[in-house]
Amino acid sequence: MNKHFIIFMIAGLIAFSTSSIFAQEDDSWINIPIGKTALWVEIDGDKAYVTNPEDGKISVIDINSKKVVDSIDTPKGVLIVEAVPEKNKLYATVEDQNKVYVYDLTTHEKLKEIDIGESEITLFSKSDKPYGQREYVTFATSGIGLAYNPNNEMLYVVHSEVSHINVIDTNKDEVVGTIPVGKTPLLIKIDVEANVGYITNWESNDISVIDLATNTVTKNLQTGFVPDQMSIDHDNMKLYVTHHASPHVSVINLQDSTIEDKIQLKGPTHAIALDKTARVLHVTYTPTSGVTGQSYLDRVEFIDTKTNRLIGGIDIPSNPFVMRITDNQQLFGSVISTGTVYAIDLTQRPAYQQNAEQAGTLEPKDPNGGGCLIATAAYGTELAPQVQFLREVRDNTVMSTSSGMAFMSGFNQIYYSFSPTIADWERENPMFQEAVRAFITPMISTLSIMTLAEDGSDAQVLGLGISVIALNLGMYIVTPAVTVWQIKKRI
C-alpha cells in the first residue's frame, strides 16, 4: 500500500456500517455502491465524480437519479479530481505518480499525462538503529490537491512530498511554474473573487496564503494542528478549516486573510461542507482509523455561518471522508471502507431542518472581543449554561450601568491580553481544560448574587459587585493562605 493512499485510508477508515447519515434508509437517503473504495467527491453541474483508488476508477453519478451512469478508467491509487467545464476537462492526481491525468469531461477519454517533475525524494531514515547505521530512504512523490483558477486559467497542483505547488497552464496542459509553501501540503482552496489561494500544510501546521496574481506566498497562518479540509462562504467572506489534531474549526476572514475565530467542537475535525441555502456549515470529526483509534464521536455538527455559532448536530453511524452539498440541498458523502456514497436529500430530513431553522437566530459574536473565551473553552461550547449565564450577567446587569460599562472597558483590555492564549491551551490539553473548569465553576456560581440588582441602579450593581469580588478573594486567596499558614504553624 502506498504512502499517500495510506494517509487517506487511515484518515477515512470507518466502522463497517452501511447505515445512512442522519437516519435509516428511506426515499430521502440512498446508498450508492461504486466499488471497493470511495474517496473524493467533486460536484460539477448535474454530475458527481467520485474517486475509487482501490479499483482505479472515477465513478460518475447522476445527481438527480442518484445512480452511477458511467465510470472512467484510471491508474490504481487515483486520489483527487477537479472538473474544469469551461475547458471540458477533468484533472486527476494519482498516488505515487508525479503526474496529473487529463480526461475529456464529455467522452471521458484520457487526453494527456502532465509530468510535474521530481518523481522521487530521498529522506534520512529515522529508525531506531544507531546513527551510523541509519540509511537514506527514497520515496515516490505524487500530486494530491487540485484547484482551478478561472482568473488566469491555471490549475494548481499540491506536490506534497516536495512541499510546493505546481502551476499548470490549462490551455497547453504544461507546468509553467512552482510555488514553495509549508511542509507537507495537502489540499488547496481558491477564493476566486479575491484571486487568493489557501493551502493546508500538515507537517508545518499552518496555511499558506498565495497571491495568485503573482503566484507568491504572502503569509502563513497558524490555525491549529494538522489543518485539513476547507470550505469557502463567499456571502460572509469566510474560509473554514478543519484540523486532524485540534478540536476546532478555524475561521479566516477572506478580506484580509486573517484568523477571525476558532469554533470549539468536541474533538479533531475532518469533513466539511456548506449548505448555501440554509447558511449552515456541516462538520464531522475524524473517522475511526488505525492511527486515531476510535473516532471521537460519530456525529455531524451544524454551524451558523452568520454568527460562527454551533446551532446543533445529529449523531451518525459513521463519519464520512468527504461531504459535498449542492445548491438544492442534496448532500453526497463518501465512505472509503465500504466503497459507497451517501446521497441525502436534506430538504426531507426533519431533524436537520429543525437545526437549520436556528441559523441567524443567535446574536453574533462581539468582533471587538466580547466572547467569554476561557469559559467557552472550559465548557466546550458557547451554548453551555455556564457561558450563557456569564453573558447574561455581563450584558444585562453589569453593562446596564455607566459604572459597569466603565469597569468592563478596563477589564476587557486586561482580560483579552491573555485569555486567547489560555483558551488555546484548554483546547489543546484536556487535563488543563478540566482543571480550569473546576477552578472557575465556584466563581461563576458567586455571580448569581448579581441577579439581585433588579432595578439596575449603579449603586446596587457596584455594591453587589464588591460583594462578589470579596467573596472570590476569600475563596481563592484568603482561605488557601490561611490553610497553608495553619499547616506550616503545626509543622
CA-wise closest residue to 437 among 482, 377, 478, 477: 377
CATH superfamily membership of 3-356: YVTN repeat-like/Quinoprotein amine dehydrogenase (2.130.10.10)
Q: According to the model, what pLDDT value does residue 364 have? A: 53
Angle between helices 430-446 and 402-428 (to 10 degrees): 160
Give the span between the Cα atoms of 177 and 165, in whole angstroms: 8
Q: Which helix (H) or strand (E) holds 297?
A: none
Q: Domain residues of the chain, as ranges?
A: 3-356, 373-484
Spell out the residues 6+ positions from residue 487 whose beta carbon is closer than 8 angstroms to its own: none
170-179, 364-373, 399-408, 479-488: segment of lowest average pLDDT? 364-373
Other CB atoms within 10 Å distance of the CB of residue 364: 12
29-43, 171-185, 360-374: segment of lowest average pLDDT? 360-374
CA distances from 489 to 160, 485, 486 (A): 64, 6, 5
Give the span between the Cα atoms of 321 and 357, in whole angstroms: 26
Query: Dihedral sign, CA of 79, 84, 85, 89?
Result: negative
Kindly report the backbone phi and psi dihedral angles of residue 238, in degrees, each rounded to the nearest multiple of 5, phi listed first: -135, 150
- For residue range 242-261, what is the model confidence (pLDDT) as tens digits? 998 888 999 999 999 999 99
Confidence of residue 137 (pLDDT cuts 50, 70, 90): confident
Q: What is the DSSP letter of 16?
A: S
Q: According to the model, what pLDDT value does residue 136 have? A: 74
Q: Which residues pair with 198 in a beta bridge?
A: 189, 209
Q: Coil, strand, or helix at residue 343?
A: strand
- For residue range 197-236, what is the model confidence (pLDDT) as tens digits? 999 999 999 999 999 999 999 999 999 999 999 999 999 9
CA distances from 446 to 252, 440, 467 (A): 36, 10, 9
Mean pLDDT over 411-415 rounds to 69
Read off the C-alpha cell for 144: 494530491
CA triple 142-107-115, angle to 5 deg: 25
Give the span between the Cα atoms of 92 and 116, in whole angstroms: 13
Angle between helices 458-473 and 430-446 (to 10 degrees): 130
CA-wise closest residue to 66 among 277, 255, 257, 326: 326
- Residue 131 clears pLDDT 60, i.e. is over it: no
- For residue range 10-19, what is the model confidence (pLDDT) as tens digits? 344 333 333 3
Beta-strand relationship, 110-115 and 120-124: unpaired
- For residue range 465-483, what is the model confidence (pLDDT) as tens digits? 788 788 878 887 878 887 8
Q: According to the model, what pLDDT value does residue 470 have? A: 82
> Residue with C-alpha cell 503566484?
215
Beta-strand relationship, 67-73 and 78-84: unpaired
Give the span between the Cα atoms of 357 and 302, in whole angstroms: 11
Give the span between the Cα atoms of 33 and 52, in whole angstroms: 11
Give the span between the Cα atoms of 13 and 335, in whole angstroms: 8
Mean pLDDT over 107-111 rounds to 98
Work out the end-to-end distance of the chain between its first and last CA atoms, rounded to an integer number of angstroms: 65
Read off the C-alpha cell for 338: 465500504
Give the span between the Cα atoms of 398 and 415, in whole angstroms: 16
The model's pTM is 0.70
State how far Cα 56 lies from the chain centre: 28
- For residue range 392-406, what is the model confidence (pLDDT) as tens digits? 777 667 765 666 666
Contact yes or no for 56/73 (Cβ under 8 A): yes
Contact yes or no for 230/240 (Cβ under 8 A): yes
Q: Which helix (H) or strand (E) holds 43?
A: strand 41-44
Q: Where are the alpha helices (DSSP H) in 245-400?
A: 350-356, 373-379, 385-392
Which percentage of the chain shows pLDDT scores above 70? 81
